[in-house]
Structure 1
């Protein structure tokens, strides 16, 4: 979860405050703008839809924490999952990060019916070594109203300033892309930290599996059992 403080830091380095909450969705562009305004911000102004990755963490663009996998491993079809985002499409903003290699590209096909303010994250089928696979991609959509979409809000004083997001330079550690204010808290228990959709607590002592399981249960939690594709960073 990203939280946008009502008063963003006012210092020499411009900081973009971002708010998005997957539980707050809107069925209309007007409602999305209203939600952002109620948070003291505005709907993010974006030209190239792939630059939404400059605004949000990669965890906002995951389907069950999996970025791509082979279709032969699953009997059901999870690749029809989609996530919708409301933005304020603005074509007069210049993307200064055109050379930036973003992990998620655009959908190879263009839909005939789109809403320029609606972005969808979906899968597209590709061929890797003559085998069918899937990868995530962005495209415009006209389904944000029918499916409900997540408003991407930013500080209203920075929403139209393209220089807020400078290019990343590996040779200059003083240059960063965006300063986000991320709330990792999980209620009043300060020992738990939010990662993606779950709260985790790590005990820094060795014990047996059974004792670890019992210790978690005493905390009204369950022992973490990672799936093959989940890696804690």
Structure 2
């Protein structure tokens, strides 16, 4: 039966997705644990898991259930069709070669930043990024994106996801965040100084859709460096110029896809 919460929702579908999300955060989980942790009857849990197994979204193993790699394939298929990815992949590769650093391409969805592609130059820090989902307030990519959307949209994202601290340097105050976004809007780039990960600093530029009547932001591109290299003109001038040029070219080439 559909329940009314502003719009009609299918309760059985919500329950299935809740189970899938619960499984995704664990290596393997028994049906009993799923039922107990989510407060679902064991018989109902087994029906949902059987449905997911038959549809090849979960795998049943001797010691429990896990999410199947089918979701990985679906994610790759979605990313490969994105014009931001198609236009941005080569520029990320080029930027990584030119700077020798870790370069990342991000798009936003539901108020999160999704790292859809990366490349590492010869001096790059070894930091796992591609496929990760991050909040937007504690990193340069997210702040570059937020600097290009309306204050109402920022309000929505902050209300939904909050401003939790990832490191001691994370901005958790809305006024301070707004000040950073205004600076990023003026300068065309955003920075983070060990705000998402201790020892890692980043500079990022937004990727906008300049061909639409109402210019909108499509993602962001960044260069990440160890804090020891986030010094002087290299981090405040050279890398911002390189990442801004890359973003600009992606904006121009997106229209070809």
TM-score range, shorter chain: under 0.3
TM-score normalized by structure 1? Answer: 0.28
Q: Which structure is richer in relative contact order (CA contacts within 8 A, separation 6 or more)? A: 1
TM-score computed with the length of structure 2 as normaliser: 0.26
Instruction: Identify, as 1 or 2, the structure richer in helix.
Output: 2
